[in-house]
């Protein structure tokens, strides 16, 4: 195994890496600066787009017209050609201290996105499902900081976490209806060094990978929730993970250059970099596109 800095872009809050198998391109975001990046597997041909506000996640659209984005002001469509970014729904107009955060698409083209309290104190956040007809449904609530949504390869389990609970949750998932049931604790997160569960992905073997932000570790959990492997990263503030590359065998890891609140620690010179981990002997699964 080897860890390399793929791009030293110093993202203030790097997040949401998504490998698109159709374009063979990696997308990731700077949540705080409101920017979307795209590059090749080796970190070349870099493009960037600005969006009108802080961004939590994006989903590429199946019609090839761009993406839908979860911004601090609601759900937007983004046209990559023109750069136009237009609001289509704000699920929390009466919660000015909330913003939309992490999201992921299921294999029926639905976009699941959670919201968060920007001070990371109040349980005012919720989990939403955006269907391909652009309708939005609240599917859970009482969340402080939404993170890490992803799906098991057999589409039967949805994983998700409220970062500061110290837990990763599992729900029974009905791929035909998009409904969640039976929320339970999948795994406990070791926060003894100040770390907390952030972005997640699931590999082809059905194991879940989680970025332990503020502790600089990546943890691989078995389908039963046991710790299988821990990787120490060069920086403490790792934020999210996704498998990509031509063979889906490179693990891309985002990080942040500046903590969002004063109580969080600073970091070393590689802070804010996009990392690539090679030679793990593990492959991921293709990320679906939003179904419209």
Task: Tell me: is residue 141 an annotated ligand-binding position.
Answer: no
From the list 117, 198, 215, 249, the catalytic residue is 198
Q: Are the C-beta atoms of 198 and 14 separated by less than 8 Å?
A: no
Task: Tell me: is residue 101 an annotated ligand-binding position.
Answer: yes
Task: Tell me: is residue 249 an annotated ligand-binding position.
Answer: no
Residue 154 catalytic?
Answer: no
Task: Tell me: is residue 147 an annotated ligand-binding position.
Answer: yes
Task: Tell me: is residue 15 an annotated ligand-binding position.
Answer: yes
Q: Are the C-beta atoms of 114 and 126 separated by less than 8 Å?
A: yes
Q: Which residues are catalytic?
A: 198
Residues making up the annotated binding site for a divalent metal cation are: 15, 147, 198
Residues making up the annotated binding site are: 15, 99, 101, 147, 198
Residues making up the annotated binding site for substrate are: 99, 101
């Amino acid at each position: 195994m080897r860890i390399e800095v793929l791009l030293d872009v110093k993202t203030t809050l790097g997040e949401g890496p998504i490998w698109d198998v159709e374009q063979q391109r990696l997308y990731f975001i700077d949540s705080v600066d409101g920017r979307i990046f795209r590059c090749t597997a080796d970190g070349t041909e870099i493009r960037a787009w600005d969006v009108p506000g802080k961004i939590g996640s994006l989903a590429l659209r199946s019609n090839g017209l761009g993406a839908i984005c979860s911004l601090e002001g609601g759900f937007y469509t983004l046209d990559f050609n023109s750069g136009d970014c237009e609001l289509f729904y704000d699920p929390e107009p009466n919660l000015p201290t909330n913003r939309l955060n992490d999201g992921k698409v299921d294999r029926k083209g639905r976009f699941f996105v959670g919201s968060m309290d920007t001070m990371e104190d109040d349980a005012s956040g919720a989990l939403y499902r955006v269907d391909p007809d652009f309708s939005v449904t609240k599917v859970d609530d009482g969340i402080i900081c939404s993170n890490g949504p992803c799906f098991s390869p057999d589409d039967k389990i949805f994983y998700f976490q409220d970062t500061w609970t110290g837990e990763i949750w599992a729900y029974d998932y009905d791929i035909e209806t998009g409904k969640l049931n039976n929320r339970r604790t999948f795994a406990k997160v070791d926060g003894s060094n100040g770390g907390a569960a952030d972005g997640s992905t699931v590999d082809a073997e059905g194991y879940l990978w989680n970025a332990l932000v503020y502790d600089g570790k990546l943890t691989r959990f078995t389908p039963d929730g046991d710790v299988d492997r821990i990787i120490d990263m060069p920086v403490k503030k790792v934020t999210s993970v996704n498998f990509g590359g031509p063979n889906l065998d490179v693990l891309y890891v985002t990080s942040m250059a500046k903590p969002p609140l004063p109580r969080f620690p600073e970091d070393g010179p590689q802070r804010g970099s996009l990392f690539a981990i090679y030679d793990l002997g593990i492959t991921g699964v293709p990320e679906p596109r939003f179904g419209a």
